[in-house]
């Protein structure tokens, strides 16, 4: 059964108000907690960060403990990192190299997070429902990532010691 998408315009305004610190660690933690609370039928929401070249390292998240690290060459998150394009997967079990962190996950949405033309990380959403994410959800979550980027000064994690 299809569920109605939340009011993403309202969520964008609420997230904008919530992210008031310009501290990237606070804002990544707040953003994934907010999405987990406000978007129905999710079992995992979180950031993977590019802290080494071609590798995604687990960042702030909500849900069960997760796989770490993820190379750019693997999984749905890796595909988003390589292509810098949002990945919307109706059935993760149909993806040969899908990385199953939580067996409850059946569909997935991964949005790249860019900093000055370089991939900074990805925001990953998992759902126990097949085909949970519509085009409207994709546009809505991309809008929330845009709000996060407007409100947050991202450090160059690749340059950090």
Binding mask 43-62 for ligand SME (x = CB under 6 A): -x------------------
29: contact with ligand SME by CB under 6 A: no
Instruction: Kindly tell me the burial class for residue 2, based on how many C-beta atoms sit within 10 Å of its own C-beta (0-12, 13-18, 19 or more).
Output: exposed
Within residues 116-155, the interface with ligand SME by CB under 6 A covers 124, 126
Q: In whole angstroms, how close is the CB of 76 to ligand SME at the nearest point?
A: 4
Instruction: Output 70 or 154, the one with its CB closest to ligand SME.
Output: 70
Within residues 63-122, the interface with ligand SME by CB under 6 A covers 66-67, 70, 75-78, 98-99, 101, 105, 108
Positions touching ligand SME (CB under 6 A) are: 44, 66-67, 70, 75-78, 98-99, 101, 105, 108, 124, 126
């Amino acid at each position: 059964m299809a569920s109605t998408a939340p009011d993403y315009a309202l969520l964008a305004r609420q997230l904008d108000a919530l992210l008031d610190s310009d501290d990237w660690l606070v804002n990544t933690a707040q953003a994934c907690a907010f999405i987990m609370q406000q978007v129905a039928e999710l079992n995992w929401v979180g950031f993977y960060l590019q802290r080494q070249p071609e590798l995604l390292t687990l960042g702030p998240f909500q849900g069960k403990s997760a796989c770490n690290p993820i190379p750019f060459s693997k999984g749905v998150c890796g595909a988003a990192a390589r292509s810098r394009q949002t990945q919307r997967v109706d059935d993760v079990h149909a993806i040969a190299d899908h990385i199953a962190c939580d067996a409850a996950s059946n569909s997935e949405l991964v949005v790249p997070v860019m900093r000055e033309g370089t991939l900074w990380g990805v925001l990953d959403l998992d759902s126990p429902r097949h085909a949970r994410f519509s085009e409207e959800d994709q546009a809505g979550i991309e809008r929330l990532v845009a709000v996060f980027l407007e409100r947050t000064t991202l450090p160059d994690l690749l340059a950090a010691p």
